[in-house]
Structure 1
Amino acid sequence: MKKTCVPNDVTLKDTGFGYTLSVIGGKYKMIILYWLSENEVMRFNELKRGIASISYKTLSVMLKEMEVDGIVIRKEYPQIPPKVEYSLSERGQSLLPILNMMCDWGELNQNGGA
């Protein structure tokens, strides 16, 4: 019998799969993960420039959610003007194999597959 990630008697949100989707789901979280994985540390405006289609408010909300989920570390420096840097936590870095698998899948399938 094939093991399923979502057994019939359990709702999706109560599974590991559902939890993972809640942490990385949405239009921008995977893109934020990508940029932080490529650059290690980024400031808010650098992320905004990298994701041109995202609004300032949406970026702020996504980063706050990711910080609450333990995926992103926010480091604030006490200076004027304020300086805030974002990086992936160890937990956030543990998502990078998923990102890499998605990249591999896209490379293999973007032109209709091999």
Structure 2
Amino acid sequence: MALLDEVAGERSAAARGRLRFGIDCVVIRSNFPQLEAFAADIAHRFPHLTTLGFNAAVPEGLASRPEFCAHELLDDDQVARLTSETLRSRLRALAPPSVSVHTTDNMNLVMNPSGWPGASTPW
């Protein structure tokens, strides 16, 4: 990240166009309480950072193991909070003003038919 930030600064100083780079954070139960600290601390370490994304983990690959789903995937209330305007606004307020902050439930990535719009979280 430090190298990307350095290159972005060099490109900007040389008027060679803005290098857009960001951080995508996969959100699970064990890191959910740290989202605000992430926006308030880590994002400020990289002055040329442009985006910060918080994305709910989906049950694919190793994350599809039943024990992982039971202990780490967000529950419905956490998904609702993650994608709420209240939390997004809070994270935006904590991040540098130049950073675009977004959140997603990643339901578009779920391969389970019960994950279609209107269905409860399939895990």
TM-score range normalised by the length of the shorter chain: under 0.3
Higher helix share: 1
TM-score by length of 2: 0.22
TM-score by length of 1: 0.24
Higher relative contact order (CA 8 A, sep 6+): 2
